Structure 1
Amino acid sequence: MALFDKFFMKISINTGGLALDHLKIVFTLILAYPLALIYKNLIFYQSLKHLFSISFAIFVFFAIFDLADAFYGMLFSSLLTYAIMYNVKGIWGPRIVFLCVLVQLSFSHISRQYEDASDKFDSTGPLMVLVIKLTSFAFSVYDGQRPSHELSPDQKLNSIHVMPSILEFLGYVFFLGGFLLGPAFNFMEYQQFVNMEMFRIESEYATNGDVKQLQQKSINKKNNNNIKGEKNVQTNIQTNFQTFVYKKDGETFSKFPKYYIPNGFIPAMSKLLNGLFCIVCMVSVGNKYSYDWALSEEFKSISFLNRFLYIQMAALCARFKYYIVWLIAEGACILSGLGFNGYDEEGIIKWDRVTNIEIAAYELADNIRSLLETWNKKTNQWLKNYVYLRLTPPGKKPTFLSTFTTFVTSAIWHGFYPGYYLTFISGAFFQSLHRKFRRHVRPIFLAPRFAHLKSLYDFLGWLATQSIINYLVIPFNLLTLKNSLQVWSNLYFCGHLVILFSHIAFLLGAGIVCKRIVSVGGGYVETDKVIMKKKKILISKH
């Protein structure tokens, strides 16, 4: 029994029987907030920061979750990765690491599935985050050995030219803001965060006018955060924005500190409050729309429309648990300073470095591509940068091997429940359908004659996308083949029929009909957004 189990049992009883593991997860995520403040404001030396994170991870695994084996397993994989990348040069280093960590994760998934512990917190969640961190680290070390002209801009940014110390590496692995359930991030982001390079101001000297402009940009209406600086990175002394005036050749100049750490308290608290709001929603509404009830005889007895609407609400409630974890974890990273991502063109501070979910964008997405781009973003970036693009030669189009390997890697990373694969495979057909609609149907509503109907098209796109996605993720939540097919059959496989008949319609010539309608409507007219996107692509090529 973990050290604090009695404490969590009392809370569980007083809150109507909430699951102990769920309470522990939320408690741990919230506990990271005061620790993030200590990490940022009271720990001055890099080595102590690494030790602080490692100590917190040990406390969580041993005292809160009673998962000592999980900690030892993560520690073993981390040290093995470090040893492989220290000794094995060339492409085989990251390949061996990728194989080793995926095998370890697969054993954890299989054990979890065999024990039927899908609702229990074990080592699987932290291992999923660890796989992302260790494989990205391995490839970044490999990139540091390659010639610069062979690297993409992202690879140059994250390449590691000097192996870090084991302490720094473990500090990255067990960073207090993301070791449990994410968010994941690259090693160089962590290193530049700890050594303060993330907060460096490029120019050390500026005229008074430039300083005032910097102040004006940094203290803005949206976040009203005063920029804070660091005069000495070794002693980590934080001060308010200060300038040191001096004169040279009759002109007044100002010298200001090299490092400025923005105050992330307000955006961090916003994430925390949104996460707590999601907890309230899940507790108050979630039990009323459980997927388990969709397996009952009573569910079969209600009308098809009510069944379909119930599934829509069940999918929404199921997303709350992801929103809770991702939002609260991101807030802790922001509070520590890791969430800082520079400034936009207007000088407004960006706190989206470790953003994993954009709730509004997801819930309002009118096509599957936009929807998936806002969901589990750090995992999608990992699959793109360290699987998909690694198998695509520079300057060439992705091959079937790239797509297939990325799909297989994503599937293994999630686990081996049949429900995952039913959702992924069905989703692939839906994505293919989206591309056809975007290529053939969307231009109709960009033609001058039908442009006034574009809002209707967007609304119908949102309704179809959200409805079909909520239908397709049923197996992702029910996990087993039997239960998934049972609920789908109770819905008459309506989502699959829509996808199937739409594909058939395009095979029979719907695309040609759409082109004729476009010509009747005055031809396809590109929007300003599309034109700007093409200009950016053209500029990047040159």
Structure 2
Amino acid sequence: MESIVAPFNCLSDFYFGFDSANAIITEWSIQTGIAMDQLRYVLCLFLVYPLALIYRNIPSTTFKHTADVIVGVLIAQLVLQFAWIHSFITSTITYLLLCTLPPAYAPICVFIFNFSYLSGSHLYRLYVDYMGWTLDFTGPQMLLTMKLTSLAFNYSDGKQSQKEGKSSDKVIASRQQFAIQKLPTPLQFYGYVYNFTTFLAGPAFEFREYLDTTTEIRFRHKNVTRVPSNAFAVARKCAVGVTCMALYARFASLFPISNFYSDEIASMPILAHLWTLYVTLLFVKIKYYGAWKVAEGAAVLANFGFQGFHEDGSPRGWDGIDNMDILGFELSPSIRQALRAWNKGTQNWLERYVYSRTNNSLIATYFVSAFWHGFYPGYYLFFLSLPLATTVNRLAYKRIRPHFVDGKLQSIKWMYDLSGTFVSVMGMLYFVIPFQTMSLTYAIIAWRNLYFVGHILCVILLVVYSFIPVPRRVVKDI
């Protein structure tokens, strides 16, 4: 009798506990020295690739949604254990809210509910893992919060467009681009929620992207009979991601976060001090580059992220859900452009569903962004300092840059661009330190070691730029 039920016990173990898989991963973790939570994440990021290859060839849209739900939940169970239930609770309540509330009020209620739940999750993490870096359910929950709130606004926008028709207003027209005019079926909804290529590390994309890809509407063109090849895009993203992961695994331990507030590092000569801080931050970023690029590659392999066709039927590319412009961030000529190149999925979400719906309020946008990340004081020091830096950036763009673009200084515009890149790199290095240290005490120590130079320079430049007249030919604000 025991031999008969043994296979079923094995299946139960695999599907619900993954005890055997976890035992193997634990052994690998001991052998490699990689934390088990990180190893599980990384293994599942690569496990998605062969699954995505199968997924893209499923002919039935219904089967694709079903595969997303089943595979997504299994991966969530393996990585998060039963903590994945939080995603089910929030998504189910969100769907019920969309079903029962008037579309005009549903987005606000969905937004408040999901942010309240996410805040509770962050507070719980503060209690059980204060200042820790454990990869738990709060990461996927942050991504899910973006997806659920954007879906609620998309549904409301769709219902509004049905009543009012097409609008000439640019903001409303841009909203209609992602609007949906009817509520997704439960299968479509949960397929979007648990889409296995993006559940763990993103990128979080619009429901319209998910629906148009799974139904293959996005690939229809009069001169095209098959889905364009994405092999190069997948290989490029995966190669960049793997390279970043390898660099992080090999060298990151040499540049710990404590460098930011270390008195020993601060006692170095200024150039050595700044270089050490720069390399330390670089390896922090490389960790995200690796995970995001590998995740992007898997999503593209499943045919997400296609940018459409040119008029002649040639493909525009596969960067539609690109989450990180690495060179654009590292070599950005301004802090504002650097922010747009970083975590673009989140930036788009903030711009579409916070900034444009709060009368273009930067303060509200930065506050929501900090709230979304959690409650460590360092997050708020970072996001509340950004308006000062971006205001200085705007003034420089309006009052200084035109002299190098249209004025007498055109011949040395390269000097302006080069200095802008240097200031952007140093500015981001300075302002982002609290975000990484998280602690108020460590952040103040780090800024004190740098003599609060970032804030002081911003205030000085703000005063100086205010007295510089705007040139007659005003370049359009960025």
TM over 0.5: yes
- Once residues 407 and 361 of structure 1 are traced to their aligned partners in structure 2, the CA distance between those partners, rounded to angstroms, is 21
Identify the match of residue 390 of structure 2 among 421, 426, 431: 431
SS in 1 for 2:227: strand
- Give the structure 2 partner of residue 481 of structure 1: 440
Please give the per-residue CA displacement for 1:410-466, whole angstroms capped at 9, x wherever unaligned: 121111111011111122111011111111221222345321111011101100110
- Once residues 462 and 90 of structure 1 are traced to their aligned partners in structure 2, the CA distance between those partners, rounded to angstroms, is 45
Is 1:51 the counterpart of 2:10 in the alignment?
Answer: no
- Give the structure 1 partner of residue 370 of structure 2: 411
- Once residues 448 and 405 of structure 1 are traced to their aligned partners in structure 2, the CA distance between those partners, rounded to angstroms, is 36
Q: How does 1:276-425 map to 2 (within 5 A)?
A: 276-344=242-310, 347-392=314-359, 398=360, 402-425=361-384
- Once residues 488 and 472 of structure 1 are traced to their aligned partners in structure 2, the CA distance between those partners, rounded to angstroms, is 9
- Give the structure 1 partner of residue 239 of structure 2: 273
Please give the per-residue CA displacement for 1:183-203, whole angstroms capped at 9, x wherever unaligned: 1111122111111111111x3
Task: Verify the 8 A CA contact 1:311 1:471 in the aligned structure 2.
Answer: no
More helix as a share of residues: 2
Q: How does 1:40-439 map to 2 (within 5 A)?
A: 40-41=56-57, 43-66=58-81, 68-69=82-83, 71-115=84-128, 116=130, 118-146=132-160, 147=163, 148-149=165-166, 152-201=172-221, 203=222, 229=225, 260-344=226-310, 347-392=314-359, 398=360, 402-439=361-398
- Once residues 282 and 266 of structure 2 are traced to their aligned partners in structure 1, the CA distance between those partners, rounded to angstroms, is 21
Please give the per-residue CA displacement for 1:165-192, whole angstroms capped at 9, x wherever unaligned: 1011100110011111211111122111
SS in 2 for 1:261: coil
Task: Verify the 8 A CA contact 2:367 2:380 in the aligned structure 1.
Answer: no
- Once residues 471 and 289 of structure 1 are traced to their aligned partners in structure 2, the CA distance between those partners, rounded to angstroms, is 17
CA 1:350–1:21: 2 relative to 1, 3 Å: same
- Give the structure 1 partner of residue 37 of structure 2: 21
- Once residues 448 and 131 of structure 1 are traced to their aligned partners in structure 2, the CA distance between those partners, rounded to angstroms, is 47
Task: Verify the 8 A CA contact 1:300 1:490 in the aligned structure 2.
Answer: yes
- Once residues 69 and 286 of structure 2 are traced to their aligned partners in structure 1, the CA distance between those partners, rounded to angstroms, is 29
RMSD: 2.2
- Once residues 269 and 26 of structure 2 are traced to their aligned partners in structure 1, the CA distance between those partners, rounded to angstroms, is 40
Q: How does 1:451-490 map to 2 (within 5 A)?
A: 451-490=410-449
Q: CA deviation at 1:7?
A: 2.1
- Aligned residue type for 1:162: K
Q: What runs of 5+ residues in structure 2 fail to find an aligned partner? A: 1-16
- Aligned residue type for 1:163: L
CA 1:2–1:281: 2 relative to 1, 3 Å: same
- Once residues 158 and 99 of structure 2 are traced to their aligned partners in structure 1, the CA distance between those partners, rounded to angstroms, is 12
More strand as a share of residues: 1
- Once residues 366 and 49 of structure 2 are traced to their aligned partners in structure 1, the CA distance between those partners, rounded to angstroms, is 35
- Aligned residue type for 2:91: S
Task: Verify the 8 A CA contact 1:312 1:471 in the aligned structure 2.
Answer: no
SS in 2 for 1:158: coil
Task: Verify the 8 A CA contact 1:307 1:491 in the aligned structure 2.
Answer: no
Aligned length: 453
Q: Which runs of 4+ in 1 moved over 4 A?
A: none
- Once residues 147 and 346 of structure 2 are traced to their aligned partners in structure 1, the CA distance between those partners, rounded to angstroms, is 10
Task: Verify the 8 A CA contact 2:80 2:137 in the aligned structure 1.
Answer: no
Task: Verify the 8 A CA contact 1:133 1:185 in the aligned structure 2.
Answer: yes
Task: Verify the 8 A CA contact 2:147 2:204 in the aligned structure 1.
Answer: yes
- Once residues 478 and 377 of structure 1 are traced to their aligned partners in structure 2, the CA distance between those partners, rounded to angstroms, is 23
Please give the per-residue CA displacement for 1:34-59, whole angstroms capped at 9, x wherever unaligned: 10001012x22222212212222222
| TM-score, normalised with respect to structure 2 | 0.89
Task: Verify the 8 A CA contact 1:183 1:330 in the aligned structure 2.
Answer: yes
- Give the structure 2 partner of residue 246 of structure 1: none
- Once residues 48 and 290 of structure 2 are traced to their aligned partners in structure 1, the CA distance between those partners, rounded to angstroms, is 14
SS in 2 for 1:65: helix
SS in 2 for 1:262: coil
CA 1:448–1:490: 2 relative to 1, 3 Å: closer
- Once residues 454 and 367 of structure 2 are traced to their aligned partners in structure 1, the CA distance between those partners, rounded to angstroms, is 24
Q: What runs of 5+ residues in structure 1 fail to find an aligned partner? A: 204-213, 215-226, 230-259, 393-397, 538-542
- Once residues 505 and 161 of structure 1 are traced to their aligned partners in structure 2, the CA distance between those partners, rounded to angstroms, is 50
Q: CA deviation at 1:344?
A: 4.5
- Once residues 405 and 299 of structure 1 are traced to their aligned partners in structure 2, the CA distance between those partners, rounded to angstroms, is 36
Please give the per-residue CA displacement for 1:391-428, whole angstroms capped at 9, x wherever unaligned: 34xxxxx4xxx443323221211111110111111221
Is 1:495 the counterpart of 2:459 in the alignment?
Answer: no
SS in 2 for 1:360: helix
CA 1:171–1:447: 2 relative to 1, 3 Å: closer
CA 1:438–1:64: 2 relative to 1, 3 Å: closer
